[in-house]
Amino acid sequence: MNSSLLNKTIAAAETAGEIIREHWQRPRDVRYKGRFDLITETDAAVEAHLQERLREILPEVGFMGEESSNNLIPDGDCWIVDPVDGTTNFVHGIPLVAVSIALWQKGATRLGIVSIPMLGECFYAERGQGAYCNGQPIRVSDIARCEQALVATGFPAYDDIEVQKGRILRWLGAVLPQCQGVRRCGSAAADLAYVAAGRYEAFYNPGLKPWDMAAGWLLVEEAGGRVTNILGEPLQFGDVLLASNGRVHQEMVDLLRE
């Protein structure tokens, strides 16, 4: 049974998703934070809504949102929020757009929610209680070899694409011939939720920020998977993330090792 805290947070994610659905058919008011980094009025509206709703749930903890925070490391207990993960998808009318909410306490995610409102899916987990989608338990897949694995990846969201390009292509060249296929959906939160649900066997991504990964990190672990950096070491914010069903993890580490 979900805790009262988790249920209240899911409700906040659902109302945030309603804002995204309401804005879906509106003209996009797009601004650029960088060459590739978009922001819309929807990002700001959803974050403002969540900041208010989450403060009502736990007034004593901080708030770390993509649009309002300059910190890249959580400073004590806080909500870590990406209001619209996949803004470029949103701008182009692609429904892989997620609301990501994590409660960070004592150096780890206590609960995580990834809601994909345009697809009607809400993934959630509370530490030690398993992972769920729309009320049904989810588990990582049983596939044990990369040649049978569907792997997801992502590219840097900011203006360091030229710096990152060499290793991105090197990783892709190593992984693509060894797996069943590679996907790039444009929302790290959704990618992590899909690993947790057994749809992908692995996901790796450079350049993620805490709001991209904090909720999905817990989802994968609570669904029986594994999350590390690409060397197989404990993940720290700022590392290149590798999440998997656990069974293909070492093979992925070997492929991605530089």
Q: What is the pLDDT of residue 199?
A: 98
Nearest partner of 89 among 191, 193, 201, judged by Cα: 191
The pTM of the full predicted model, rounded to 2 decimals, is 0.94
Q: Is 140 helix (H, G, I), strand (E, B) or coil?
A: coil
Q: What is the pLDDT of residue 212?
A: 95
Q: What tokens appear for 181 in the block?
A: 């296929």
Q: What tokens appear for 84 in the block?
A: 């619209």
In one-letter notation, the amino acid at residue 98 is A
Q: What is the pLDDT of residue 178?
A: 96
Rounded CA separation 235/225 (Å): 14
Rounded CA separation 254/258 (Å): 9
- Residue 186 contacts residue 89 (beta carbons within 8 Å): yes
CA distances for 45 relative to 4, 22, 23, 143, 180, angstroms: 25, 11, 10, 40, 39
Other Cβ atoms less than 10 A from the Cβ of 161: the count is 15
- Residue 243 contacts residue 216 (beta carbons within 8 Å): yes
Check residue 136 and report its DSSP letter: E
Q: Hey, what domains does the chain have and what are their CATH numbers?
A: 4-138 (3.30.540.10), 146-256 (3.40.190.80)
DSSP 62-106: EEEETTT---SS--SSEEEEEEEETHHHHHTT-S--EEEEEEEET
Other Cβ atoms less than 10 A from the Cβ of 110: the count is 18
Three-state SS sequence of 158-205: CCCHHHHHHHHHHHHHHHHHHCCEEECCCCHHHHHHHHHCCCCCEEEE
Q: What is the pLDDT of residue 75?
A: 84
Rounded CA separation 86/97 (Å): 5
Helix (H) or strand (E) holding 241: strand 241-244
- Give me the average pLDDT of each 10-residue run along the chain (258 residues): 90 97 80 60 93 96 86 90 94 96 96 98 98 98 98 79 84 96 97 98 94 97 98 95 98 92
Give helix then strand counts, H and E, for the chain.
Answer: 7, 14
